[in-house]
Amino acid sequence: HHELVASALAVAKGKEINPDLQIGAMVSHVPIYSFSSNPEDIMLAEEEMRQRYFFPDVQVRGYYPSYALKEFEREGYQIKMEDGDDEILRNGTVDYLGFSYYMSTTVKSD
């Protein structure tokens, strides 16, 4: 959470310095594909990709996606969020997203 808030603060500061700046983020993108057309493999790949999408989802949208909030709740994660963090995330979204792609992987449900 604090890393995402720091990113949003950096974007906002950059825009304050020069509103014409285009500020983005780069992610190491390693896609996860299903091993087969088995629906369980497909669903597992979708669920695993959420881990890949989490940071960019927050940085681009400016809020936590529902799948992440549900996971926090389900797993009992207690993330310390300060008053005003939601607004910082909303106001510090990136203008573009860059991908660093080196490989992909597959998952099999069994």
> What's the confidence (pLDDT) of residue 86?
96
> What's the confidence (pLDDT) of residue 92?
97
Among residues 39, 65, 35, 62, the alpha carbon closest in space to that of 53 is found at: 65
pLDDT, one tens digit for every residue, the chain (110 residues): 999 999 999 999 999 999 999 999 998 889 999 999 999 999 999 999 888 888 999 999 999 999 899 999 999 999 999 999 999 999 999 999 998 988 999 999 99
74, 3 contact by CB (below 8 A): no
- Domain boundaries along the sequence of the chain: 2-107
DSSP secondary structure of 9-41: HHHHHHHHH-TT---EEEEEE--EEESSS-HHH
CA 10/CA 56 separation, integer angstroms: 15
Stated pTM of the model: 0.82
Share of the chain above pLDDT 90, in %: 83
